[in-house]
Structure 1
Amino acid sequence: MDADNLVRMANRIGQFFEAMPDATEAAENVAQHLKKFWDPRMRRALLAHVDRHGVDGLNAMVEVALERHRAVLD
C-alpha cells in the first residue's frame, strides 16, 4: 500500500482521537485502533515509512501513539 495513503489514513484516526480530553488515553486508542483494524502489512508499512523518512507529515497524536506503543503495532 502507498505510504502517503497510510499516512493520510493514520492522520484521520489521530484527528478523531485528538478530541479526547486525556492525551495519554487518546494515543493508546490510536494504537489500539491501528492494531485492531489495520492489516499487519499496513502497520509494518507505516512503521517502515516512519523509520525511513521520520514523522514528517504525521499528525502529532499518531506520532505519540507510534512512539509509545510501537511494540503493540509490530
Structure 2
Amino acid sequence: MSDGNKIIRMANQIATFFHSQPASEGPGGVATHINKFWEPRMRRQLFDLVDNHGGAGLDSLVLQAVPLIHRPAPAEVPPAAAARA
C-alpha cells in the first residue's frame, strides 16, 4: 500500500469516528487528533494529497479540518542529496 493510501485510510478512520459526534465537533476533532498524534512527515503527506491531488479519496470531514491542521515546515534535504540534484 502506498504512503498516500495509508494517509487517506488513517485520516478517513479518524473522520469516521467524528461522524458519530455532534457535527460542530467534527472538523476541530479531526484536526486536533492529527495535530496531536501525527508526526510532521505524515502531515506533509496529507497536505501533498490536498495541495497536489485535490484531496481525492479523503472524507469530507477531513477536508473541512485541513485549514485547522498545522502545516509542517518543508522537509529538509540532506546536503549530500542537494549536491546531487
What TM-score, normalized by structure 1, do the two folds share? Answer: 0.85
Report what 1:50 is aligned to. Answer: 50
Q: Report % sequence identity.
A: 44
Task: Out of 25-34 and 1-10, give the one that drifted further.
Answer: 1-10
Partner Cα distance (1:59, 1:25) in 2: 15
Unaligned runs of 5+ in 1: none
Q: Quick check: which has more Rg, 1 or 2? A: 2
Unaligned runs of 5+ in 2: 72-85
Partner Cα distance (1:20, 1:2) in 2: 28
More helix as a share of residues = 1
Cα RMSD (Å):
1.4
Structure 1 stretches of 4+ with a deviation exceeding 4 A read none
Aligned length: 70
Q: For residues 10-38 of structure 1, give each alpha carbon's deviation from its aligned partner in whole angstroms, at most 9, with x where no partner exists.
A: 000001011112x2321101000001011
Partner Cα distance (1:16, 1:41) in 2: 23
Partner Cα distance (1:12, 1:58) in 2: 10
Report what 1:10 is aligned to. Answer: 11
Report what 1:34 is aligned to. Answer: 34
Give the deviation of 1:61 after TM superposition: 0.8
Amino acid at match of 2:30: V
